[in-house]
Amino acid sequence: MLSKISTNQTKTMLLLMLVFSVVILLFSGLVYFSIVNFSHQRFYELLKIRATTIVQIEKSKSQINDSTTEIISNLNQAEELPLEKDYVFEIPKDSNYKKISHQIHLPESFFRSLVKNGESNYKDKEDYYIGQTFRSNNRDYIAIASAKNHYVVYYLGYLKRTLITCMILALFFSMIFSFYLSKTLFKPILKITSKVKEISSENLHLRLEPQPGNKELNELVETFNDMLNRVETSFETQNHLIGNVSHELRTPLTSIMGEADVALSIRRSEEHYQETLQIILNEAEKLDKKIKALLMIAQTGFDGKIQKMDKVRMDQLLWDVIETATRINSKNNVYMDISMLPDNPKKLKVQGNEQLLHLAMANIVNNACKYSNFQQVKVSLGATDNHVYIIVKDNGIGIPDSEFDKIYDPFFRASNTKNYEGYGIGLPLARNIIKIHNGELIVNSKENVGTTVQIRFPIFVT
């Protein structure tokens, strides 16, 4: 799996590099061609100024006086462009531009366009031309200014080299950044993978840690931890079953076989046979109840596959549990404390299976009634923005401190419960059901004082 992640990390790094490279190349090309276009336009503007200067000089020559002499002097002193050449031609009356075209090596189409539009430009490699038409002394002329654009030759060449250097450096740094970014992206996954490899059947209590600021991975971590909770519950249930099933099933079976063997050893009276059969029936009923209890615990503690989940109102469920408990045994005395109920009834909804939740709460409430000798049992219900809380408190016999760590073992019964009927499956069963519903069960007990059971469920989020 690590090799697969490493391959994906390399692919991610290469993809990031490709994206960065394309972006860098696009922006570099945009900068280069924008500057090239600007330099061409700017150079044509400078040439146009020179062409206009030539026209003004030529027009001024026909009117020579002090002011025009000063204008011509100023125009002649204007800054010339690199390798500038200026031309003035009279427009041929027959519109034959072959001679002029041959003289300055420009195509005839340039002159035709110039005469037609009054202005035209032309570019031949590094040489730029711009021409204007003007009229002087009742004659039509063409003024042409040309120059070499050294800016393109030198400065754009320098710009090209600079951009190439910057692109190489940018690609180098993008490679480093891509490697760092891909490593950062996959680091939490590698960390999770390493942690998962540490988890085995011997240490199912281990859990994955949430990744700060990573919502998607945290959802994965939460899902995996929920799965581990179910798997841990399954393993615990299996271990408890294996540890207890032989003893719990062997006892009634031994009694049944012993009674049958004694009854068959010699002839007995009819009354003795009836007594023996009654004992066998009682032991068989106990065996049947224990097998059913084992199956129920197993079904709620393996892979978490339970019946359909739906919205359950915990206040309604508790009222039903209390009503059922009172109907089964009129001595049961349960008081429902509603002082902590929230204003918003939606906060009392949890996602779960109503039958299983009813079974879990009924076991806890019935145990509280039974082991408190039918004194009043207080059931409190409350909620916060995130959880529903249920507290079941009794003033019964409690649990001895030395035996408290065994209360979730199936069929375990504390030493002070010998006078009470039961099989020791109520609390383990309730705990499995609550864990399946992502809840938490906490038991606090003191012998001869009483027991308090606290239950917490996450509220149903719409």
Contact 221/208 with Cβ under 8 angstroms?
yes
The per-residue pLDDT for 297 is 59
Best CA proximity match to 243, nearest among 404, 413, 402, 411: 411
For the chain, count helices (H), then strands (E).
11, 11
Q: Which CATH architecture is the domain 306-462 placed in?
A: 2-Layer Sandwich (3.30)
Best CA proximity match to 443, nearest among 402, 408, 395: 408
The per-residue pLDDT for 343 is 84
Question: Which two three-digit tokens encode residue 132?
Answer: 């204007």
Torsion angle, CA of 248/250/255/258, rounded to 10 degrees? -170
Contact 365/430 with Cβ under 8 angstroms?
no
pLDDT tens figures, 148-169 = 877 666 777 777 888 888 888 8
The per-residue pLDDT for 445 is 92
End-to-end CA separation in angstroms for the chain? 36
Round to whole Å and give the CA distance between 417 and 399: 9
**Three-class SS state of 88:** strand
Best CA proximity match to 337, nearest among 391, 375, 295: 391
**Three-class SS state of 327:** helix
The per-residue pLDDT for 307 is 55
Which residues fall within 8 angstroms of residue 38, CB to CB, at 6 or more apart? none
Best CA proximity match to 51, nearest among 151, 149, 153, 147: 147
Domain spans of the chain, in order of start: 2-154, 199-305, 306-462
Adjacent-strand bridge partners of 120 = 131
pLDDT tens figures, 343-369 = 888 889 998 888 788 888 988 998 899
Round to whole Å and give the CA distance between 106 and 102: 7
CB burial of 33-51 (b: ≥16 within 10 Å; e: otherwise) equals eebeeebbeebbebbbebb
The per-residue pLDDT for 298 is 59
Backbone angles phi, psi at 143, to 5 degrees: -110, 125
What residues of the chain score a pLDDT lower than 50? 1-2, 4-5, 64-78, 301-304, 306
Adjacent-strand bridge partners of 452 = 393, 444
Q: In what order do the strands lie in the sheet with 85-90?
A: 85-90, 139-148, 127-136, 119-124
Adjacent-strand bridge partners of 442 = 454
Question: Which two three-digit tokens encode residue 319?
Answer: 């009222």
Using alpha carbons only, what angle is made at residue 168 by residues 166 and 169, rounded to the nearest 5 degrees? Answer: 65
The per-residue pLDDT for 38 is 81
The per-residue pLDDT for 5 is 47
The per-residue pLDDT for 236 is 65
Question: Which two three-digit tokens encode residue 332?
Answer: 């049961």
The per-residue pLDDT for 428 is 81
Round to whole Å and give the CA distance between 242 and 1: 35
Question: Which two three-digit tokens encode residue 106?
Answer: 């420009």
The whole model's pTM is what? 0.46
